[in-house]
Amino acid sequence: MTQDYIVSETTRVREDWSRRGKHWDQQAQAVAETAARFNQPLIDAAGIEPGHCVLDLATGAGEPGLTVAELVGETGRVAATDLVPEMMAGAKRRAQERGIANMEFRQADMCALPDDDATFDRATCRFGLMFVPEPERAAREVHRVLKPGGRAAFMVWGPRADTTMFTVFAEAVEQLWGADDPLIDFNTMSCLGDTGRLEEVLSAGGFANIEEKELRFSPKIPTDLEPWHAQIDMSLGPKLETVHPSERTRLEQAIKDGFSRYIVDGAYHMTAHVRIGVGEKA
Ligand SMILES: C[S@@+](CC[C@H](N)C(=O)[O-])C[C@H]1O[C@@H](n2cnc3c(N)ncnc32)[C@H](O)[C@@H]1O
């Protein structure tokens, strides 16, 4: 992988997430309950305790950083870090609203962190590592800033076919707008989802005692709740800004039709597959 490719891909990712910032902020409350389910397994895997100094990477709209800041308490702290300030704008506001004073927000690429060696007790990253062109480089950098004995936990999506929301969305957008639209990307989020891939990345980063965990969820959502609305804005908000408003109605119908395959006894029987890679600094 050339340096030129890494620079241009990082620029593309930064621009993409800058466009998404306001949509993620607007939907943060709507997805809070679902998103909270992912926090505890990640926090448990990282072994976070009160008093820890924690690096949260790709903090985006705020999680798990906000939850971790409350957990580590006033003797601990959280350094929330994201490539894109627009993604963290809502997280900063929510921290203020919740009276969280032990959290700082920094704009940084997780491959080039502004921290000294051996600064943090723990590092978390929820659904961020997939967007880094060379994740091994991020793993090396996180390893550098952890204290000896420190632990990092990275959460990623499993293969796309295992998560109903993404399967249906990818089919719907392909049907409407084709597969090659630069404002649509349902491939990147599962690029680290195959068994063993996170292990490889952590190993290349220099981590020891590596473990890869698989989490599967099977939520049953009553059909009248139509669980896709917030995800439409978060995944496709920038695309919808470029098309006629009637396209949103067509998209919603295509997604509703896609979800109809999963109805059993008045509820959508959905699945989601998430993986966590954990490693320690010897
Ligand atoms: C799917 S969002 C995840 C946000 C949050 N952690 C969550 O789970 O809701 C992905 C985030 O990764 C950030 N990101 C992408 N590449 C990054 C990089 N190289 N360094 C730091 N953050 C990055 C994006 O800006 C975006 O905020």
Which of 39, 84, 137, 185, when mutated, tests ligand 1's pocket best, judged by the most ligand atoms within 8 Å of its CB?
A: 84
pLDDT grade for 214, boundaries at 50, 70 and 90 = very high
pLDDT digits (tens, 9 = 90+) for 37-64: 999 999 999 999 999 999 999 999 999 9
Measure 17 CA to ligand 1 centroid, in angstroms. 8
86: left (phi over 0), alpha (psi -120 to 50) or beta: alpha
Written as one string, the DSSP assignment of 101-169 is -SEEEEE--TTS-SSPTT-EEEEEEES-GGGSSSHHHHHHHHHHHEEEEEEEEEEEE--GGG-HHHHHH
Instruction: Please say if the pLDDT value at position 81 is more than 90.
Output: yes
Instruction: Please say if the pLDDT value at position 182 is more than 90.
Output: no
Nearest residue by C-alpha to atom 19 in ligand 1:
109
Closest CA to 219 of 273, 170, 160, 158: 273
DSSP letter (8 states) at residue 189: G
Measure 127 CA to ligand 1 centroid, in angstroms. 7
Which of 8, 17, 26, 34, when mutated, tests ligand 1's pocket best, judged by the most ligand atoms within 8 Å of its CB?
A: 17
Give the pLDDT confidence score for residue 199 in this predicted structure. 98
Give the pLDDT confidence score for residue 34 in this predicted structure. 86
Query: What is the SS3 assignment for 267?
Result: strand
Mean pLDDT of the chain: 96
pLDDT grade for 260, boundaries at 50, 70 and 90 = very high
pTM (global) more than 0.95: yes
Q: Which ligand 1 atom is nearest residue 189's CA?
A: 1
pLDDT digits (tens, 9 = 90+) for 111-135: 999 999 999 999 999 999 999 999 9
Instruction: Please say if the pLDDT value at position 69 is more than 90.
Output: yes
Nearest residue by C-alpha to atom 26 in ligand 1:
60
Nearest residue by C-alpha to atom 15 in ligand 1:
131
Measure 59 CA to ligand 1 centroid, in angstroms. 6
pLDDT grade for 181, boundaries at 50, 70 and 90 = confident
Ligand 1 pocket, residues with Cβ under 6 angstroms: 13, 17, 35, 57-61, 63, 82-84, 87, 109-111, 126-128, 131-132
Domains of the chain, with CATH numbers?
3-159+186-218+271-280 (3.40.50.150)
